[in-house]
Amino acid sequence: MSTSSVVLTHQLTKRYASGLLAVDGVDLDVREGDLFGFLGPNGAGKTTTIRMLLSLIAPTSGTVEVLGREVTLHSPHALEGVGTMVEGPAFYPYLSGERNLMIFDGAGAGGPRRTRRQRVRDVIERVGLADVGDRPVKAYSLGMRQRLGLASALLRTPRLLVLDEPTNGLDAQGIHELRTMFVDLVRDGTTIMLSSHLLAEVELICTRAAMMSAGRIVAQDDVRNLLAPTGWVRITTPDLERAVRALQDGPFHYEPIDPITVRVQIGDRAPELLNKAFVQDDIRVRELVVERPTLEDVFLERTGHGDIR
């Protein structure tokens, strides 16, 4: 295993007794320092894959290594250095969030007993639950439960944080706060593997991503490579007729879009050179936008399916 990889799978496969092939020959490579998006629609096999990574279920075939250790079913050391939130957090409903975390820490999730209360309060504050007080977990909203689940994962001070749909139930502000927290955690040395069906969310923060469909990986790369420019730009100009005449004299393929917008294929040429040429001809350019695909576009291209939800 490469020293830069914290999760590595080879031909990981899960076929259930019913014959359902949930995961089909998956090769994942999550590298140290990644904020790794694990993407796909519900039912794509993401959660089954994660459960195999965490030794919760056994693969039919293939291998898994996490933090340099081979993972087997119920491996006693599989979760050392790993914080997890998978398939929704479970807590004692009549106890407060702080009391739940104290119990969780006492069960071996955290460090020394003398610092337990402070560690618990630190993670509660970090996930934005400091003002909840002694309210029992049964009175928490779904979003608050998600935050408490994240707090329990952070008690381990993990090298690797594995999260399955962590923003479920959160409003826009809560999602923004978690995004910021994830970026901060990675900056502080934690690698994050984030499973989600929300491509736009992942697109904003993740450094690398894998896309899963029908049990198979259909794309895996740096996000910047997945979102590389298409070779087209959109130019908005009140001088569209003059702009089109200028394009006719050059090596560019173009498509007028509306009375003030033209789409131009520039290939590997620098878009600023086209802009400079327009300005030199006194063609007013209101906007020049380099076209890039979204992750949804990439998913559609690789699978032929437009809806990832």
**What tens digit of pLDDT does each residue of 244-289 get?**
999 988 788 999 999 999 999 998 888 988 888 898 999 999 999 9
- pTM for this prediction: 0.84
Q: Is residue 300 part of a domain?
A: no
Domain boundary among 179, 195, 226: 226
Residues 25 and 68 in one domain: yes
Is 201's pLDDT higher than 50? yes
User: Which of the four pLDDT bands, split at 50, 70 and 90, describes residue 85?
Assistant: confident
DSSP the chain: --TTEEEEEEEEEEE-TTS-EEEEEE--EEETT-EEEEE--TTSSHHHHHHHHTTSS--SEEEEEETTEE--TT-TTTTTTEEEE-SS----TTSBHHHHHHHHIIIIISS-GGGHHHHHHHHHHHTT-TT-TT-BGGG--HHHHHHHHHHHHHTT--SEEEEESTTTT--HHHHHHHHHHHHHHHHTT-EEEEEES-HHHHHHH-SEEEEEETTEEEEEEEHHHHT---SEEEEE-S-HHHHHHHHHTTT-EEEEEETTEEEEE-TTS-HHHHHHHHHHTT---SEEEE----HHHHHHHHHS-----
pLDDT (average), residues 222-237: 94
Residues 175 and 250 in one domain: no
Residues 212 and 243 in one domain: no
Is 117's pLDDT higher than 60? yes
Residues 285 and 182 in one domain: no
Q: Is residue 304 part of a domain?
A: no
Residues 113 and 19 in one domain: yes
Mean pLDDT of the chain: 88
Is 177's pLDDT higher than 90? no
User: Which of the four pLDDT bands, split at 50, 70 and 90, describes residue 88?
Assistant: low
Is 2's pLDDT higher than 60? no
User: Which of the four pLDDT bands, split at 50, 70 and 90, describes residue 110?
Assistant: low
Residues 145 and 256 in one domain: no
User: Which of the four pLDDT bands, split at 50, 70 and 90, describes residue 186?
Assistant: very high
Residues 73 and 221 in one domain: yes
Residues 45 and 160 in one domain: yes
pLDDT (average), residues 60-84: 86
Give the chain's domain count. Answer: 2
Is 22's pLDDT higher than 80? yes
Range of the domain at 274: 232-290
